[in-house]
Amino acid sequence: MAETEIAAETAMAEETAKAHAKAGHIEYPSQLYAWYAVAVLVIAYTFSFIDRQILSLLVGPMKRDLEISDFQMSLLQGFAFAIFYTLMGLPIGRMVDSHNRVRIITIGIAVWSLMTALCGISKSYLQLFIYRMGVGVGEAALSPAAYSMLSDYFKPERIGVAIGVYGTGVYIGAGLALVIGAEVVEAARAAGSTTLPVIGTVYPWQMVFFIVGLPGLLVALWAWTLREPPRHGATETPPLRQVLAYMKANRFTLVCHNMCYALSAMMGYGVAAWIPEFMIRTHGWSAGQIGSAYGWIIAIFGTAGVIAGGWLGDFAAKRARNGRMLVLALTGILTLPFALAAPLVDNPMLAVYLLIPATFFATFTTGGGPSAMQELMPNKMRGMASAIMLFVVNIIGLGLGPSAIAFMTDFILQDESQLRYSIAIVPAVLLAGSSLFGFIGLRAYRRSRDFRDQYEAAEA
């Protein structure tokens, strides 16, 4: 799940002599307040994924009422959201490097929450597609700003764990979307269609969007109360051409890293989007059954995997300059056998049990991937670098992940009942590719670490 989604800011640059002379020594906030800020950001991230993931439980009724195919449904789950999520991430990432990050986050939460609620009044596939794009616009603000803030709340040796904890919002949110969402879906289905003033007839699946979207406005108000941390190791924001030139000089490393991360995210988003419908179609489970089972797996083992990935990245980085990249490279190898077997076994409970290690190992990239990326970049380039990384990871992972599986089902296998084979084949190829890029980039990653050290020494 890439998200993805979802992401990351780490490896703070040391204070340069120029920064000390200009601004004096800047203390980090207290650890108590720093972890309080992490908690608020985790809750915001959780709500973002509830709003994003809830569609996976609504495939059946939405396909019926909107008269759409698996592939069209996958565009709502992935591409409609991802296109503006990624495009808006670039200018927002630039703003993060020079504007108030708390305000950026607050506005983003309010926008995506309202757009999720508006999905509940959509009367056509096109309207729903547009509102899903609006959700992407709002959510694009959260992670680049959060990653940058975390790097100023925590010292360099603690940032991997902090980002890993923040990354748990992906899996807590995705898990709660299934666990709580399943109950909401069942309750809405039992209540049946209703008629609201002005809006008119509202189907049960539309009511779900109201229920999960509107509470996010309270989270926006809470986020507004956070204190903007002082920036560390910061000089003037470099011009965009300087950031791009720096990235060009490290392009082989960045391509290998981003593709390793993106293919893993593509696998995660694709599987998360279609596992509920797979269990319903293939094994005859109800939305409530799979929502509860898979939701808790994502929430518990996805969360554990994110934290483990962040910790392993910190651990490996102390022992090798390319240690974080090595953790990413191994993730696909560890995940592949379980992800391949889960949809192919005939016993539904065994399939669910196999999803436990698959989810745990797959989520290493969420805790370790962004930390590795930021380890390569000087401080004032990190917001833009994060946005570019998120662009690549999400346009590939979130934009293509759900649709790749649906494309296999609708256009290659041409049989909705063969969804299980799509969920086996596509992720297996993606995980193998992810590990391949990771191992190819190991040596270049070490060279890029040296390049950053030389760059910062020259800037001091």
pLDDT, tens digit, for every residue of 205-260? 999 999 999 999 999 999 999 999 988 765 566 788 898 999 999 999 999 999 99
**What does the pLDDT average to over 280-296?**
93
Predicted confidence (pLDDT) per residue in 442-459, tens digit: 999 999 999 998 998 887
Count CA within 13 A, CB hemisphere, residue 109. Answer: 27
* Helical packing angle, 31-53 and 204-213, nearest 10°: 170
Domain ranges of the chain: 17-459
pLDDT band at 78 (very low <50, low <70, confident <90, very high): very high
pLDDT at position 236 is: 66
pLDDT at position 273 is: 93
pLDDT band at 28 (very low <50, low <70, confident <90, very high): confident
Residue found under tokens 């930390």: 371
pLDDT band at 118 (very low <50, low <70, confident <90, very high): very high
d(CA 57, CA 272): 10
DSSP H helices in 214-250: 216-223, 240-249
Q: Running DSSP on this structure, what letter comes out for residue 6?
A: -
Residue found under tokens 């670039």: 90
Residue 13: pLDDT over 60: no
pLDDT at position 233 is: 62
Q: What pTM value is reported for the model?
A: 0.81
d(CA 48, CA 413): 33
pLDDT band at 300 (very low <50, low <70, confident <90, very high): very high
**C-alpha pair distances (Å), 114 with each of 87, 106, 149, 175, 334:** 20, 13, 25, 22, 39
DSSP H helices in 159-233: 159-191, 204-213, 216-223
Which is higher by pLDDT, 249 or 143? 249
pLDDT at position 196 is: 79
Residue 306: pLDDT over 60: yes
Residue 89: pLDDT over 90: no
pLDDT at position 287 is: 86
SS3 for 229? coil
Of 92-101, 147-156, 193-202, 353-362, highest mean pLDDT: 353-362
Which is higher by pLDDT, 254 or 8? 254
Residue 90: pLDDT over 80: no
pLDDT band at 17 (very low <50, low <70, confident <90, very high): very low
Report percent pLDDT > 70 for the chain.
93
Among candidates 304, 352, 35, 302, which has minimal Cα distance to 177?
Answer: 302
SS3 for 15? coil
Count CA within 13 A, CB hemisphere, residue 419. Answer: 21
Averaged pLDDT score across all residues of the chain = 88
Predicted confidence (pLDDT) per residue in 364-418, tens digit: 998 788 888 878 888 778 767 877 887 888 889 989 999 999 999 999 999 999 9
Residue 135: pLDDT over 70: yes
Residue 8: pLDDT over 50: no
Among candidates 90, 133, 33, 16, which has minimal Cα distance to 389?
Answer: 90
CATH 1.20.1250.20 for the 17-459 domain, yes or no: yes
Among candidates 373, 384, 456, which has minimal Cα distance to 14?
Answer: 456
Predicted confidence (pLDDT) per residue in 152-211, tens digit: 898 877 777 787 788 777 788 888 888 888 888 888 888 888 887 878 888 899 999 999
* Residue 241 structure tokens: 């051409």
Residue 2: pLDDT over 60: no
Residue found under tokens 């926006």: 220
